[in-house]
Structure 1
Amino acid sequence: MLIGYARTSTLEQIAGLEAQRESLRAIGCERIWEEQTSSVGRRTGLSEALEYLREGDALIVTKLDRLARSVRHLGEIVEALEAKNVGLRILDLGLDTSNATGKLMLNVLGSVAQFEREMMLERQKEGIVKAKREGKYKGRAPTAQRMAPEVHRMLSEGMTKRAIAKALGISERSVYRVTKSAQT
């Protein structure tokens, strides 16, 4: 059985998710798990797909970066698939791990993808340093700090920090930071 997995990083990437879904259906996937979460976020859809796979099945993804966040993570996924005797196919690369060449290419391409991502992050950091030096970089707006009056009001009403975080759509950690900054 062909099992598909599709992922986009943000909710705004609807078209990307639809394109992945169409590609997976076109190849003949009978079941497709999909989710919209960052590569470092919790990936319940991937976990469920990996759990569902049975011997002889194949996990199909459209692109390598939709599946794994690093070479190490890719290795863990491949190891789990091999333990179940399940293949992996990556459509845009024409890659199939059911043979030795496919496994070699997966490792090489996984390493290249990780290298590319690390280089992009380095360039991003360099750009931020330069922008800060030139006074052009302000950083992300401190969302939770703007909500400080509301946080303090809710605390005075007896709400728990967890309930406040949920009500305001911020992390519980942010609520603690707001209360701590008010104490200093």
Structure 2
Amino acid sequence: MLIGYRRSSTSEQVAGYDAQEVQLLAAGCTRLFGEMTSSVSQRDELCAAIEFSRDGDVLVVADLSRLARSISDLCSITERLEAKGVTLKIFAMNLDTSTATGKLLLNLMGSFSQFEREIMLERQRNGVAKAKAEGRYRGRAPTARRQSGRVAELHATGKGASAIAAEIGISRSSVYRILSLGQTA
């Protein structure tokens, strides 16, 4: 059985998430698992996909970056799959771990991907440090606090924190924080 797994880091990346679904279905995946969460968060659907898989199945992903965040994470995932007799197929690399060459290439590409990510983060840190030194860096704007006016409006109509959070798309704790600090505009 071909089991597809798709992931995007945020809910704003819907187009990429949907594109992964199209690829997985076109490949013949009969069962799909997917989630919109950061790779550093708990990935319950990935765990569910691995748990669901059986000996002889193939876990299919569109891209290595959708599966693992580091080489150690990749090794952990592939060890869990191998223990169950499940192979891995990655579209973007035309890679299949059912062969020795596929396993070698997976480890090499995983190492390159981790290196690329670390270089990108290093450049980002350097850019932030430079901007701070020049007085141009203000940090990320608090997204929930921008909604303080809307929170106040909804609270005034008698809505509870859970209903407000669901309607606006912020966490319930952010609603409580805005209301307790009186940060209504």
What interval of TM-score do these two structures reach, taking the shorter chain for normalisation?
0.7 to 0.9
Secondary structure at the counterpart of residue 138 of structure 1:
coil
Q: Which stretches in structure 2 are left out of the alignment for 5+ residues?
A: 148-164, 179-185
Whole-angstrom CA distance in 2 between matches of 1:146 and 1:23: 37
The residue type equivalent to 1:16 in the other structure is: G
The residue type equivalent to 1:135 in the other structure is: G
Number of aligned residues: 182
Cα displacement string for residues 18-60 of structure 1 (whole angstroms, at most 9, x for unaligned residues):
1100000011000111111111122111111111000000000
Cα displacement string for residues 101-157 of structure 1 (whole angstroms, at most 9, x for unaligned residues):
00000000000000000000000000000001111100123568899xxxxxxxxxx
Residues 83, 138 of structure 1: alpha-carbon distance in 2 compared, 3 angstrom cutoff: same
Secondary structure at the counterpart of residue 109 of structure 1:
helix
Residues 137, 80 of structure 1: alpha-carbon distance in 2 compared, 3 angstrom cutoff: same
Q: For residue 109 of structure 2, what is the aligned residue in structure 1? A: 109
Q: For residue 79 of structure 1, what is the aligned residue in structure 2? A: 79
Q: For residue 127 of structure 2, what is the aligned residue in structure 1? A: 127
Provide the alpha-carbon RMSD of the alignment. 3.1
The residue type equivalent to 1:64 in the other structure is: L
Whole-angstrom CA distance in 2 between matches of 1:7 and 1:56: 23
Secondary structure at the counterpart of residue 130 of structure 1:
helix
The residue type equivalent to 1:33 in the other structure is: F
Q: Which stretches in structure 1 are left out of the alignment for 5+ residues?
A: 148-164, 179-184
Q: For residue 99 of structure 1, what is the aligned residue in structure 2? A: 99
Whole-angstrom CA distance in 2 between matches of 1:59 and 1:35: 15
Residues 173, 76 of structure 1: alpha-carbon distance in 2 compared, 3 angstrom cutoff: farther
Whole-angstrom CA distance in 2 between matches of 1:169 and 1:27: 34
Residues 139, 102 of structure 1: alpha-carbon distance in 2 compared, 3 angstrom cutoff: same
Post-superposition shift, 1:171?
7.4
Whole-angstrom CA distance in 2 between matches of 1:16 and 1:144: 25
User: Where in structure 2 are the equivalents of 1:21-170 lying within 5 Å?
Assistant: 21-142=21-142
Whole-angstrom CA distance in 1 between matches of 2:33 and 2:144: 33
The ranges of structure 1 where at least 4 consecutive aligned residues each deviate by more than 4 angstroms after the TM superposition are: 142-147, 168-175
Deviates more, 1:138-147 or 1:53-62: 138-147
